[in-house]
Amino acid sequence: MIKLNHIVLAIVSTLCASHLHSQCRISIEAPDSLAFLFSINDQQVNQLPLVYVTLNHQASGKLNFKADFPYRPELSFSQVMTIKKDAGVAYSIESSKGALKFVLKSESVVSITNSGEPIEQATAPDAEVRHSGCYPVTDDAEYREMHAMADEQLFESKKLSTMTTFVSTKCLRVDQLQFMMSKLTQEENKLALLSASKDHIYDPENIRSVLDEFFLARTRAKAEEIIGANR
């Protein structure tokens, strides 16, 4: 059983020069293991990496969202989002086809009074998170070193060999496994990597997200079988 401190950052922020008559409330949530720094139009919101951020923003229309992961810089990404006037929107950071993205979870109409001063508050008690997989997750430096070795291989068979050797002896998160799979072009090789990961996944409750890596009905069905057999 692992106890994680979830920090909720509440910010009432004026991130534009002019005072508008409306505000939007934006919430961003990431997996426990991916604490992030959030920026809107290149203006950073939080100074410490968090897994949940909520802010009031005096702008709507097209906004450039960016998530930086200090502990996993290779996963950092940006995405242009369209926010409606007076909208309350909640996004989660999720993996899709081997890459992270902001996924809209809910949208509502809100009315927010602008206090004119930023308010920052950290609250929330400790949350207990139960994982049924391996522990602890392998060191990020080892993970990056393995990727560097795999990228040096000219043939995919050699790349797969490097990856399967690593995954069968380490403890990985699902997002790490999926990123490895995204480096492979042949879906049969992705199946081999998935098979090698048996009993070596920290968060097996999220394992079905790797199905996004399979586009052929035959290999996707086989991936479903492997996932089912590993439970």
Question: Is position 36 within any domain?
Answer: yes
CA pair distance 118, 208, nearest whole angstrom = 40
26 and 98 co-located in one domain: yes
CA pair distance 87, 113, nearest whole angstrom = 13
Tell me the per-residue pLDDT of 67-90, one tens digit each, with 9 for 90 and over: 999 988 999 999 998 888 778 888
The CATH number linked to 89 is: 2.60.40
Tell me the per-residue pLDDT of 84-110, one tens digit each, with 9 for 90 and over: 877 888 899 988 777 889 988 888 876
**Tens digit of each residue's pLDDT, the chain (231 residues):** 333 344 444 443 434 333 344 578 888 998 877 889 999 999 998 888 888 888 887 777 888 999 999 988 999 999 998 888 778 888 999 887 778 899 888 888 765 444 443 333 333 333 344 567 888 888 888 888 999 999 999 999 999 999 999 999 999 988 889 899 999 999 999 999 999 999 999 889 889 989 999 999 999 999 999 998 876
222 and 189 co-located in one domain: yes
Quickly list DSSP for 86-149. TEEEEEEEEEETTEEEEEEEEEEE------SS--EEEE---EEE---S-SSPPPHHHHHHHHHH
* Residue type, position 50, single letter: L
How big is the CA angle at 41 (ends 73 and 75), to the nearest 5 degrees? Answer: 15
Question: Is position 201 within any domain?
Answer: yes
46 and 112 co-located in one domain: yes
123 and 9 co-located in one domain: yes
121 and 149 co-located in one domain: no
Flag whether the pTM goes above 0.75: no
CA pair distance 104, 127, nearest whole angstrom = 24
Quickly list DSSP for 131-143. --S-SSPPPHHHH
Q: Containing H/E element for 179?
A: helix 174-182
Reduced to 3 states (helix: H, G, I; strand: E, B; else coil), residue 155 is coil
Please give the residue range of the domain that contains residue 150: 140-230
CA pair distance 54, 110, nearest whole angstrom = 14
